Amino acid sequence: MKTNAYAAQTATTPLAPFDLQRREIGQHDVAIEILYCGVCHSDLHTVRGEWGGSTYPCVPGHEIVGRATAVGAHVQKFKVGDTVGVGCMVDSCRTCANCQEDLEQFCDATVFTYNSPDKHTNGITYGGYSDRIVVDEAFVLKVPPNLDLAATAPLLCAGITTYSPMRHHNVTKGQKVGVVGLGGLGHMGVKIAKALGAHVVVFTTSSNKVEDAIRLGADEVVNSKNADEMQQQLKSFDFILDTVSAQHDINAYLLLLKRDGNLTQVGVPPEPLSLNVGSLVFGRRSLSGSLIGGIKETQEMLDFCGQHNITADIELIPIQKINEAYDRLVKSDVKYRFVIDMASLQ
C-alpha cells in the first residue's frame, strides 16, 4: 500500500515528503489510518543520529492514534471503524520470560515502531509520520472514546513512561511524590500522580513554570536551585520521578527520600550521572530506571486516563512545520507536547 510520509534522508537533512510501501494486511493485522502522531524527543535524537544506530531514510513517530480501516481474517479484538493507538513497539519474540510476563519492552527482540529491522519487508520499520500503518493486533491498543484524540497521542509514550514506574512502585493515595522537571514527561507525571491520589511536588529551575505546575495539579512547587527550599523537603518523599535528560545532581533528590523511598530515572542524560552511594546507604533508599511499559500495562494506562479524563497538553501542528518544531523542541519551547495533524499530509 502506497503511503505518504515524512522522512529524514540523513542525520543532517530536514524531514521532507517521502513515499513508502506498507505491507499487505496479514490474517492478524490491523490497517490504520493515522489521524494524529505525537512528537517525542526520541524522534529528534534518532533523526539527527544523536544516539547512534539510526538507519536512513528514517520515518519517526511512535505516539499514534488513528482509525482501523481494515482487519485481518483472524483479528478478534478490533473491527473496522475502531479508534486505536500504536505506541513504541509493533512486535516482540513473544516467547521469552519478559514477553511471558507482559514486559515486551524488555524483550531482546523487540521491534520498535520505527528504525527497527522489519521481518515483513526485510527493511526497517517506518513510524507514524505517515498517513497509514499496518500493525499486528497484539500491539494495537484501544483508545477510550471520551478522550480528545490529538491530546491522547502522547499518552502512547509520555503517558506510559510516567505511569509504569508509579504503578511498579505502588504509588497510591496519601503518598508524597516528587516530579523533577516539567516538560513533556514531567507534565504527564504530575497529572497521573495526582490522579493516583498522591500529594505532588514539582521540582523546577524555571520560575515561569510555577503557575503551570499548579494548574496541572501540583500541590507544591520547589525551586531546585534554592538550597533552603530543598532543605525543607529532606526525607519526606515516598517516590520521586526524575524526567530530566540533562546533567544534574541526582544526589540532591535522593536525600529527599524517606527511608525505603525510591527515585526512578526516566530521563536519559547523555553523560553518566555522579552518584554518592551514601545517599542510598543511609536510608535504604533505591535508585532505578524505567522504560515505557508492556502492551497490557499500556492499555491499563489508557483506560486509567479515560477514567480520569487525562490527556497531554499539546500544540497541534501541520506536518509541514515539523522541522521548526524540532528546533523549538531543542529549546524546550513547547507546552508540553507537539502533535502532528496527519490531515495536513494529504
Residue of 103, 107, 99, 115 whose CA lies nearest to 51: 115
pTM: 0.95
Q: Please say whether the beta carbons of 204 and 224 come within 8 A.
A: yes
Q: Please say whether the beta carbons of 234 and 225 come within 8 A.
A: no
Segment 153-157 shows an average pLDDT of 98
| Predicted local confidence at residue 208, as pLDDT | 86
Question: What contacts 271, CB < 8 A, 6 or more positions away?
Answer: 247
- Quote the strand ranges of 87-224, DSSP E: 89-91, 111-112, 117-118, 123-124, 132-136, 141-142, 176-180, 199-204, 220-223
- What is the spatial distance between Cα 15 and Cα 321, in angstroms, rounded to a whole number? 10
Segment 214-239 shows an average pLDDT of 96
With bands split at pLDDT 50, 70 and 90, how would you rate the model's confidence at 270?
A: confident
Q: Please say whether the beta carbons of 56 and 88 come within 8 A.
A: no
Segment 257-266 shows an average pLDDT of 98
Q: Is 51's pLDDT higher than 90?
A: no
With bands split at pLDDT 50, 70 and 90, how would you rate the model's confidence at 269?
A: confident
- The average confidence (pLDDT) of the chain is 96
pLDDT tens digits, one per residue of 71-130: 999 999 999 999 999 999 999 999 999 999 999 999 999 999 999 999 999 999 999 999
Is omega for the bond preceding 163 within 30 degrees of 0, making it cis? no
Angle, CA 40 vertex, CA 189 and CA 16 arms, to 5°: 165
Beta bridge partners of 203: 180, 222
- Quote the strand ranges of the chain, DSSP E: 2-7, 16-21, 29-38, 64-71, 83-86, 89-91, 111-112, 117-118, 123-124, 132-136, 141-142, 176-180, 199-204, 220-223, 237-242, 257-265, 286-289, 314-318, 337-341
Whose cell is 527497527? That residue is 116
